[in-house]
Amino acid sequence: MATVSMRALTKRFGEAAAVDALELEIGDGEFVALLGPSGCGKTTTLRLLAGFLQPDGGELCVNGEVISSAELVVPPERRNMSMIFQSYAVWPHMTVAQNVAYGLKFKKLSRQKKSMLN
């Protein structure tokens, strides 16, 4: 299972620091909610965790291993994470079944399992 730790994690957009030296430890199986007014950096933190943003400073580790830092970022598709987006991001050009099945293509599931889902 997995633990997540953020050490002095920092992201700036121009002058403004959206996430400023955030320290956060999330243990295995823990359920964590980030609350705060708009613009306080919740989304930025999530996007850093998912690998869509590169931090300007600090580190982000999963199971003690650095997957994001100012130098290197493991791309989102290699993180084996999941995320639900603010806009839901349902693909309008696909059917419901296609939307659900799309991700399975990359999980290397057997054809049989896929057709079961279909």
Q: Which residues bind other proteins (CB under 8 A)?
A: 1-2, 4, 32-33, 46, 49-50, 52, 62-65, 67, 72-87, 89, 91-93, 102-103, 105-107
85 in Cβ contact with 96 (< 8 Å): no
As measured in angstroms, the least distance from the Cβ of 28 to other proteins is 9
| 8 A C-beta contact, residue 22 and residue 9 | yes
* Smallest distance from other proteins to CB 13, Å: 12
* Residue 68 to residue 55: CA distance in whole angstroms: 7
Closer Cβ to other proteins, 17 or 109, answer by number: 109
